[in-house]
Chains A and B, each alone.
Chain A
């Protein structure tokens, strides 16, 4: 599977003209392995390379790991990349922001001189699962909302995930995680006790009723 995001250099000056430089063709690759905290391979994880410089407005091209946890991202353009992985159905959230995983996503550099990078991506610990239903309290109609979560030690680093009336999200395990649901025009719904502390692989279900804000 190719990784064909093109990088274009825009130069902005007073008076707003811009120049577009032709992209350098992507002849590089990133090869590696995705493992858990004990070094065991994680098959069928999804892996992507996200540029670490500039602005990104592009699709995330993911490749799956094989039975040995190995992957190959081909056609990579020169540049610095974070290598991101996830396998959410087994409790491995993505390692983009450090919210779910103990280790940050590794940073690799692909250059014309060194076009083929290798890397090991470590995921874990496994997260827990929070699932539930959302209805509007007054009408009982199904509703959508955003699940906002944050580590209590890092309240300034939340993550917001939009969900439908039947939802399932990952909750980082082994830590106190604040959880609330917000929806425009409604009062915020806060998890009982204000936070969750869950073990890896554990699950919890909630029935959310969103009260209108007056």
Chain B
């Protein structure tokens, strides 16, 4: 009989909030944007201290703005895009942090308060076939209110996610 061996499986698997900023979007007078900085952590809770490719899968539903009729959305999908030198990902900083920006980009979306539901999942992109879930900060993006993981902020009440908050899977 062979002696028992202990396996420790560790690796990037946690998204922890570092900061959460709510402000008007660039050049806007009424529409807000939210910038949430995440630290990628290993399963054992230690911070990842290297640049990691990350990507997301998400679905937008319940878009209810009357104008514009069509919604153009920028995301970082996990699927490889032909012609790109790298996978369809972004790269965290060398300390394992990245900033996730949510919000409409201008004041053209009407009426005020309209928006869209966003079901979001962030992954550590290891290869075209292998991605590991880090966290699922789903919520909604309205012109004047943005909710991440059921934590909503407005310009009048911009109390964001507290540093240290773990984004659930």
Contact = CB atoms under 8 A, between A and B. Distances in A.
Q: Which range holds the interface residue count of chain B?
A: 35 or more
Interface stretch (A2-10, A116-124, A202-210): A2-10
13 contacts: A9-B70, A12-B71, A25-B81, A54-B72, A56-B104, A57-B118, A59-B56, A59-B101, A60-B101, A62-B99, A158-B23, A158-B155, A162-B163
Contacts of A58: 56, 74-76, 90, 100-101
Interface string A38-76: 000000000000111111111111100000000000010
Contacts, number: 204
Given A53-B106, A57-B74, A59-B98, A2 B85 contact: yes
A54 B20 contact: no
B84 interface: yes
Interface string B1-40: 0000000000000000101111111111100010100000
Given A4-B90, A9-B72, A56 B101 contact: yes
A13 B33 CA distance: 25
B61 interface: yes
A6 B61 contact: no
Interface residues of A, number: 56
B74 A7 contact: yes
A51 B74 contact: yes
A157 to B, nearest CB: 6
B55 to A, nearest CB: 9
A146 B163 CA distance: 10
B42 interface: no
A27 B81 CA distance: 12
Nearest to B98: A59
Q: Which 4 A-B pairs have the closest CB atoms?
A: A160-B158, A54-B72, A162-B160, A144-B162
